[in-house]
Amino acid sequence: METFDVVVLGAGSAGESISQSLAKAGCRVALVETLRVGGECPYVACMPSKAMLRSAQARVEARHLHDLAGASVDPVLDDDDLAFRRAVERRDEVAEHRDDAGAAEGAEQAGVVLVRGRGRIVRQGVVDVEGRELGWTDLVVATGSHPVEPPIEGLDRVPTWTSDQALSAQDRPRSLVVMGGGAVGCELSQVHVRFGVRTTLVEAGPQVAGKEEPSIAAALAQVLRDDGVDVRLGVEVQRAELTTDGLAKVHLSDGSTVEAERVLVAVGRTPTTADLGLEVLGVEPDDRGALEVDDHCRVVGQQHVWAAGDVTGTAPYTHTANYQARIVTANLLGEDRAADYRAIPRAVYTEPAVASVGMAEEQAREQGIDAMTAVMDLGEVARAGTEGAGGGRLVLTADREKGVLIGASAIGPRADEWLSEATLAIRAGVPLSVLTDVVHAFPTFGEAYEPPLRELAERAARA
């Protein structure tokens, strides 16, 4: 049996980072992966989706070139099929054609022992990978998540995609039903409708981007509708059937039906913890399938078992996985480092983008915080005029008693970039009185912070 200081199960963002950092620090590390080093983000998720969104945005910008005075007449574009084909080519270049050879080589050059196959805990301190036993002093579970497959009658008999499949596909469907109005559903709806695909988005909840501030979510739904997406809220897919023409006919809970060439199932993801042998260690995932970890990312009840990334069920984003990877690495190397999740940003990379961090007012009040909110219309910012942007919205939430910012949510051009100011303010607990003294360059979207911050500071001072 081979022995290691650390065995890492899963080579996604967290696992790849942890294994390389530990190996470079002199630890003997084995990294176990069934598919690709780097996980889904570089190959079938974050990177290819953002590449497609940028291509779709460029196509829209070209159609409005005359409006922005980049040309004296409207340009003539090629048809949607040809444009989509070129966008797919660029997408696959960005995603390195889903080939992890470079990432695998990088891990091995760092000193990591890369083991291909599915790992399973067979006894305390031992993982088996298809007959190869790896002994460990510490174990890191970073197996990520996988798409939820809803138990809907007939769905398995019609043409469907997961988001991974949609971002690997080469052909443009003529019509698409998107199940789920989360970030993935909204992003891929916008991509496809901007390339001429008749797109219907079906969301069971009352709003898209269900965890976001309601007015921001409503603005996002309107953006999608303006693009041509048929957004249907508060309805569920009850069953599906295949038509004689080979289309998917989707029956909705409001009695209506929609036919499409393809159904994109984007109703969420669930942590990948099944069949890992966790029961051998006495570890039981929670009701979501996630592993409960303490603030050091150590699996609760375990001394030498750690977890990072989607498998923890905590803010399941790549940047969270990378953050937890740094926490795990530091603790395995003898430091005492705890995670702080107060300021984990989240984004929907549509155009315009939605970005949020911290808590909304209702959530804060549920936690007993005397919260207050101030709002800014981005259309009032000078940069909106120079950009030809249609406006947007910034909602800031503060703790009245402490006089600090605790939440921010925005929809607007590049909001995912300029929301970092709020992220830093929340993480560092910067007083409102200091934030109101920050000078923003003119003209920038960052100026949108100034009026609502002054309003919040004045209200806090009166408390």
Domain layout of the chain by residue ranges: 2-39+100-147+270-332, 155-267, 352-462
The Cβ of residue 156 has, within 10 Å, a number of other Cβ atoms equal to: 10
One-letter amino acid for residue 317 of the chain: Y
Is pLDDT of 291 > 90? yes
Is pLDDT of 162 > 80? yes
More confident residue, 211 or 162: 162
Phi-psi region for residue 110, left (φ > 0), alpha (ψ -120 to 50) or beta? Answer: alpha
Q: What is the pLDDT of residue 126?
A: 98
Is pLDDT of 300 > 90? yes
Into which CATH architecture does domain 2-39+100-147+270-332 fall? 3-Layer(bba) Sandwich (3.50)
Q: What is the pLDDT of residue 74?
A: 84
Distance from C-alpha of 34 to C-alpha of 126, rounded to nearest angstrom: 18
Instruction: Tell me the three state secondary structure of residue 4.
Output: strand
User: Per residue in 416-449, pLDDT tens?
Assistant: 999 999 999 999 999 999 999 999 999 999 999 9
Is pLDDT of 10 > 90? yes
Same fold yes or no, 2-39+100-147+270-332 and 155-267 = yes
Q: What is the pLDDT of residue 235?
A: 98
- State the greatest distance between any 2 C-alpha atoms of the chain, in Å, as a whole number: 72
CA distances (Å), origin 101, targets 12, 13, 46, 105, 115: 14, 15, 19, 6, 14
Q: What is the pLDDT of residue 463?
A: 75
Return the CATH fold of 352-462.
Enolase-like; domain 1 (3.30.390)
Q: Which CATH superfamily is domain 155-267 in?
A: FAD/NAD(P)-binding domain (3.50.50.60)
